[in-house]
Every structure is written in C-alpha cells, then in structure tokens.
Homo-oligomer: A and B are copies of this chain.
C-alpha cells in the first residue's frame, strides 16, 4: 500500500479504530522480531494484541500478507526514526558522528535479525509492493542525508564541489554494504570502516580551503 492510500485508510478510521489497527501492527512487529515472519500466525497476533480474528480481517482484509506489508511499512518508518534526532539535523560534525554511532549501534543490536530484511524476504524481494517500500525508504533516507551534506557544504565543512545527492547515495551504500557484510559474517567492522572512512574523507574535503588560505598566508616571503 503506498503512503497516500495508507493515509486515506487512516482518515477513514475513527481514532479508536486507528489505535486498534496500530496495536495489531505493533504486536505483529514484536512477534516477527521474536519468531520470524514465516512462523508468525494470525492466532499469535490475535492472542498478543487481545483482538479477534474478525477485527484483524476488518483492518487487513488481505489477511497475513496485507498485515505483514503494513508491518514492513512500520519497520521502514522505524529505520528512519531510530536515526533521529540526528538524521534530520546533520548540520555539524558532532551530529554526523552521533548519527554514525546510532546507525552502528542499531545494526549491531539487531545483528542478523534485521526485521525489515526478514519481512521483505518473506513478502518476496521481487514483488512490486516490497520493491516500492524499499525504494521509498531509500529515497527518504537519502534525501535527509543529502540535506545534511548540503548544510555542511554551505558552512564550508564539505567541499561544495561535490554532488550532494550522489554523496548521500554513497553514504546509503556504505550503510547497506556494511549491514550486508554484518548479516553474512556477524561482524560490524565493515559498517564502521565504511562510515568512518567516508566521513573522514568528507571532513578533509572541506578542510582543504581553509588550509590553502592558511598556507597562502604563511607563504609570504620570509
């Protein structure tokens, strides 16, 4: 379901209905995190969220598949919100380092049980719904990183000659690649190395101009 449709559904629900729907989603998310998407049944969800089967089908007429898709959208939202308040205010190196620490901590804690990854795999990586969800998440994530890169360029901390959007794409790839290696080896070294190296290089790209001025100034004949 895309966000527009989701919003419309939300608008049609009463406040109480929206709360029940959200309770079902959050309860399913907890089940999936504990036992995996394949092993989670609607009975588990019903028991955990104190709802009836008819309530579940009222909110998710498509049954388990529709529910898992809603949970995947919720987990995608959490991928971004777990990176806040840093991700939306990457306006100093301190903020960037806090963001880096938060990302590493998040994936180190989740380890090989990345809930969104589990759900996308269960829904079928190649289904249009899963692909749209992934594409949208990456787009929103990249946009926030792009805004952060642009902010640092404005204050001269990152070379203004760099393409902010491609730099953001590169940071997304650094995180995804680090997580991919973590998923197959259980170690976060690549994730940390990728973020640290990219941030260090970006930092020195900005430092170049002041250094040049500095050297220029000390380049007076002695």
Contact = CB atoms under 8 A, between A and B. Distances in A.
A125 B184 contact: yes
A202 interface: yes
A105 interface: no
Interface string A158-180: 01001000110110111111111
A166 B188 CA distance: 12
A190 B208 contact: no
A177 B172 contact: yes
A221 interface: yes
Interface in A109-159: 112, 120, 125-126, 130-131, 134-135, 138, 159
A34 interface: no
Nearest to A138: B181
Interface string A34-71: 00000000000000000000000000000000000000
Interface of A: 112, 120, 125-126, 130-131, 134-135, 138, 159, 162, 166-167, 169-170, 172-181, 183-186, 189-191, 193-194, 196-198, 200-202, 204-205, 208, 211-212, 215-221
